[in-house]
Amino acid sequence: MYWKPNPLFIIGLTAVTTPIVAHAKIYVSVEQAQKILIPNKSLTKNPIIITDELQDKMRSASSIRHPFQGDRIWKAADGSWFIVDEVVGKHEMITYAVALSPSGAVTGIEILDYVESYGYEVGEVQWRNQFIGKTAADPIKLNQDIQNIGGATLSCKHLTDGVKRVAVLYDITLKNQALALKAK
């Protein structure tokens, strides 16, 4: 008796061994995002030390567990801020930038790197524009004041929480820094 391979078995075997590839997409660089979000303004790097206490306050306000890096903060002469942060999408990191007005209101968001296979719709302008005008005083919660995108729920939630974290960072630390400079 001779064995004859079933063509469907071979096709199925090929499908099982074919790797699923996530395509990394770099939307814009940090420099490009700075020009988009805070155009025609010179930015000065303004790193801050993120203490454990500050990290805990931001974590409790946003539920983001990934530590915030204080070395990716820039300030414009008019008091605007440009902050780069990253959060986990579903499995991979999403790097994004948030611009804040001198009063701490979000003026824009840009996605810098997105590595996930799904959920890339968070890079669409219409979704990102929901954050404009939001401050730490706003809920900044998915399905409350920020709409979800079907198929991108985790990316939407984590980016929403990340923007909340940046707004809280301004409220706790950067606002006080700006007030101290004005008092001098």
Neighbours of 76 (CB within 10 A): 18
Question: How many domains, the chain?
Answer: 1
**What is the side-by-side order of every strand in the sheet holding 81-88?**
25-26, 106-114, 93-100, 81-88, 73-76, 43-45
- Positive/negative CA dihedral, 180, 36, 97, 104: positive
Q: Which residues pair with 108 in a beta bridge?
A: 99
Q: Collect all residues with Cβ–Cβ distance below 8 Å to 124 and sequence separation of at least 6.
A: none
Q: Is 8 domain-assigned? A: no
Q: Please report, in tens digits, the pLDDT of each residue of the chain (184 residues total).
A: 566 666 565 555 555 555 555 556 778 999 999 999 999 999 999 999 999 999 999 999 998 999 999 999 999 999 999 999 999 998 999 999 999 999 999 999 999 999 988 889 999 999 999 999 999 999 999 999 999 999 999 999 999 999 999 999 999 999 987 666 566 5
Cα 86 to Cα 93: distance, rounded to the nearest angstrom: 6
Task: Specify the pLDDT at position 26.
Answer: 79
pTM of the full structure: 0.84
Task: Specify the pLDDT at position 9.
Answer: 55
Q: Is 109 domain-assigned? A: yes
Cα 168 to Cα 152: distance, rounded to the nearest angstrom: 24
DSSP string, 112-150: EEE--SS-GGGGSHHHHGGGTT--TTS---BTTTB---T
Q: Collect all residues with Cβ–Cβ distance below 8 Å to 158 and sequence separation of at least 6.
A: 64, 87, 88, 89, 94
Q: Is 1 domain-assigned? A: no
> In terms of DSSP H, where are the helices of the chain?
7-17, 30-37, 52-62, 125-128, 153-169, 175-183
Cα 86 to Cα 113: distance, rounded to the nearest angstrom: 9
Q: Is 16 domain-assigned? A: no
Q: Is 15 domain-assigned? A: no
Task: Specify the pLDDT at position 1.
Answer: 57
Q: Is 52 domain-assigned? A: yes
CA 23 to chain centre: 18
Helix or strand or coil: residue 73?
A: strand
Domain containing 49 equals 22-183
Q: Is 13 domain-assigned? A: no
Q: Is 159 domain-assigned? A: yes
